[in-house]
Amino acid sequence: MAKALDLEEQEQLDQIKHFWKQYGNLISWVLIVILGGYAAWNGYQYWQRDQAAKAAVLFDEVERAVVSGDVVRVERSLADMKDKFGGTHYAHQAAMLAAKALQSKDKADAARAALKWVVDGAPDPAYRDIARLRLSALLMDAGSHDEALTQLSAPFTPAMAGLAADLRGDVLHAKGQKAEAASAYQSAWQQLTDSPDYRRLVQAKLNALGLDPQVATPANASGNTK
């Protein structure tokens, strides 16, 4: 019986050796790829956490500079943030925060540049939309109406589309294109159903142009009137 078992075990060993000889290299490479991918994934996760932690510290520096009103420090810390952590959400938040502070200190060009950087590079569409709205408002204030309309011409996310239409109406109204402004306001009014307070503001703008948003018909104006 012992010899029979030995022969059976030897046959099994021979089968295992044959199988490993035929598929051993393939199995080894598959394991290397799987384990290597797992190690790379863990390494990337660690790197992301490390980058986020460092970016958070630098964002705090930007925030402190904004609170203190130190424009030179705001610009320097924002430049560091963009250079070292430009791909993080913290960098885009910092740029929008810095833009507000720079605008309040009469550094409109620097404010617009910070917002343009977010518009051009933020991976999150929400950040891009907010930056485009703010940039468009600054361009309108500067009298750069066509540039503002260019920023507002690209599609916005549904959550921001109504706000963009309202701002487009403001820019067109500033250009004296009242009929086009009314159309933009009407579009905004239709999209802002979830924001009743803001919708009433848009309705007031339409009423001032002689329009009833409920029927979208001009009461006493048509065409490009001034």
Per-residue model confidence as pLDDT tens digits over 149-192: 999 998 999 999 999 999 999 999 999 999 999 999 999 999 99
In a domain, 54, yes or no: yes
Domain count, the chain: 2
Compute the distance between CA of residue 133 and CA of residue 214 in angstroms, rounded to an integer.
Answer: 26
Asked whether residue 114 falls in the same domain as residue 178, the answer is no
In a domain, 202, yes or no: yes
- Contact criterion met (CB below 8 Å) for 98 and 118: no
Asked if 154 and 226 sit in the same domain, the reply is: yes
Given a cut of 60, is residue 219 above it in pLDDT? no
Q: Is the same domain home to 57 and 114?
A: yes
Report pLDDT digits (tens) over 21-76.
666 676 666 666 665 555 554 554 554 566 667 778 888 888 898 888 888 999 99
Residue 1 covered by a domain: no
Q: Which pLDDT does position 121 carry in this prediction?
A: 87
Taking the alpha carbons of 103, 144, 131, 200 in that order, is the dihedral positive or negative?
positive
Of 123, 157, 187, the domain-final residue = 123
Query: Are both 163 and 199 inside the same structural domain?
Result: yes
Q: Which domain holds residue 67?
A: 44-123
What's the angle, vertex CA 123, arms to CA 122 and CA 129, rounded to 5? Answer: 60
Greater confidence (4 vs 207) lies with: 207
pLDDT at 118: 94
Confidence of residue 1 (pLDDT cuts 50, 70, 90): very low
Question: In whole angstroms, what is the distance from residue 82 CA to residue 90 CA?
Answer: 10
Structural domain contains residue 28: no
Domain identity same for 150 and 224: yes
Res. 221 pLDDT band, cuts 50 70 90: very low
- The answer to whether residue 222 sits within a structural domain is yes
Is 225 inside any structural domain? yes
pLDDT (0 to 100) of residue 20: 66
Report residue 218: phi and psi, to 5°: -70, 135
Is residue 128, in this structure, part of any structural domain at all?
no
Residue 4 belongs to some domain of the structure: no
User: What is the model's pTM?
Assistant: 0.71
| Rg for the chain, CA atoms, rounded | 30
Confidence of residue 139 (pLDDT cuts 50, 70, 90): very high
Whether 218 has a pLDDT exceeding 50, the answer reads: no
* Domain final residue pick, 55, 90, 123: 123
Q: How far apart are CA 117 and CA 131, in angstroms?
A: 9
Cβ neighbourhood burial of 100 (10 Å; 0-12, 13-18, 19+): middle
